[in-house]
Homo-oligomer: A and B are copies of this chain.
Amino acid sequence: MFDFTYYTPTWVVFGRGASAQTGALTAAAGARKVLIHYGGGSVVRSGLLDRVKASLKGEGIAYVELGGVVPNPRLSLVRQGIELCRREGVDFLLAVGGGSVIDSAKAIGYGLTNEGDVWDFYDHTRRAAACMPVGAVLTIAAAGSEMSNSSVITKDEGMVKRGYNDDLCRPRFAVMDPELTLTLPDYQTASGCVDILMHTMERYLSSGDHMELTDALAEGLMRTVMEDARILRDDPQDYEARAEVMWASSLSHNGLTGCGSDGGDWVSHGLEHELGGMFDVAHGAGLAAVWGSWARYVYRDCLPRFVRFAQRVLDVPAEGSQEETALRGIEAMEEFYRSIRMPTNLRELGVRPTQEQLETLARMCSAAAGGAKGSAKRLREADMLEIYRMAL
């Protein structure tokens, strides 16, 4: 078991009608002027934005608004937000939306409290010294950004997608009302479930030490999310399954399922980040499309973990060789992805990169990692190119 730190300071208010508490939570955080940050029209159409505003008004908190966050949130809007907040004297960032909106708010928070270009943090040329406090009203269960230290932003020029992790950005509070997710399109629900699973799988399918307790929690979480994803495929209105998936989104990426591990592998995320930047695909779907190829490329180098994954998460019976068991686990996971109508290759994802694009993806993925990445197996540019090819 490796030593670890664990820090999840976010105040979570979970349940039906929780968004009514947004104003009180924002006031308790000491906010006086808030940026309400959001994405497209759904939070407007559903009336959520109006309810959030009323809740802030009820506490006498002033606000300005900035909508327009898109999936794979853009640096250009982050820069707009930084300017707007400076001009307006904003002291708290309230994200109303999913991971993209929360990630964008975190980026604005870094930009507001540090000199220089905010992209530096995402480009990993320096670290932030502070972040303006962020709160979240969650509308999509997927990224776990509502409790995590992660923020992923896409630079418009060249569509470069990069993540920056820092405890400074962990939200002060997260309002989680599962009812807000009842109307999500099926594709987004399934993509969210893959994202949630992958946040734990990245930590679980890695070399180095592990902890039985963390493994038990991770296995329980993965099994539950898979079960709930199937329930929601058949009945998107199932509140209990929505609630479990929403809570799992937080627990899967707040650090809990990695305590004692080596920090995780994260190559699948790296491969997807380049795809997401270049082709603007849904994050979870992109992960599903590359995972099987990654897994087949690396499983022999991380055999005990893949065997455990197969047996404890996917109920693969213990017969045949370890390699056979591991492979059956990978197949069972891909079968699960297909069962919730998620892609298992780039073609099913709707992406057909040219040879040149494949090489660019691999080169950028490798460069973003400083040359090599991965714990299950350490991978370089040529490995990444091979995985992209396997995933075609």
Number of this chain's copies in the complex: 2
Other A-B pairs, 14, CB within 8 Å; known A6-B12, A9-B9:
A3-B18, A4-B14, A5-B13, A5-B14, A7-B10, A7-B12, A211-B244, A212-B224, A213-B225, A213-B248, A214-B247, A217-B220, A219-B220, A247-B260
Bound state CA distance, A13 and B5, in angstroms? 5
- Verify A11–B1 contact, CB threshold 8 A: no
- Verify B15–A4 contact, CB threshold 8 A: yes
Q: How far is the CB of A146 from chain B (nearest CB, A)?
A: 11
A216 within 8 A of B: yes
Bound state CA distance, A259 and B250, in angstroms? 13
User: A13: nearest residue on chain B (CB-CB)?
Assistant: B5
Once A12-B6, A243-B260 are accepted as A-B contacts, the answer to whether A221 and B216 lie under 8 Å apart by CB is yes
Q: Which residues of B contact A13 (CB under 8 A)?
A: 5
Of the candidates B14, B219, B248, B259, the one whose C-beta lies within 8 Å of that of A247 is: B259
User: A18: nearest residue on chain B (CB-CB)?
Assistant: B3
Bound state CA distance, A291 and B50, in angstroms? 50
Instruction: Give per-residue flags for A208-242: 1 if the beta carbon is below 8 A from chain B beta carbons, else 0.
Output: 00011110110111011101100000000001100
- Residues of chain A at interface, number, CB under 8 A: 41
Bound state CA distance, A81 and B260, in angstroms? 36
Interface of A with B (CB < 8 Å)? 1-16, 18, 211-214, 216-217, 219-221, 223-225, 227-228, 239-240, 243-244, 247-248, 251, 256, 259-260
Q: How far is the CB of A349 from chain B (nearest CB, A)?
A: 28
Q: Which residues of B contact A260 (CB under 8 A)?
A: 243, 247
Q: How far is the CB of A249 from chain B (nearest CB, A)?
A: 11
Bound state CA distance, A283 and B61, in angstroms? 47
- Verify A213–B3 contact, CB threshold 8 A: no
User: A228: nearest residue on chain B (CB-CB)?
Assistant: B212
- Verify A14–B213 contact, CB threshold 8 A: no
Bound state CA distance, A8 and B5, in angstroms? 13
- Verify A14–B259 contact, CB threshold 8 A: yes
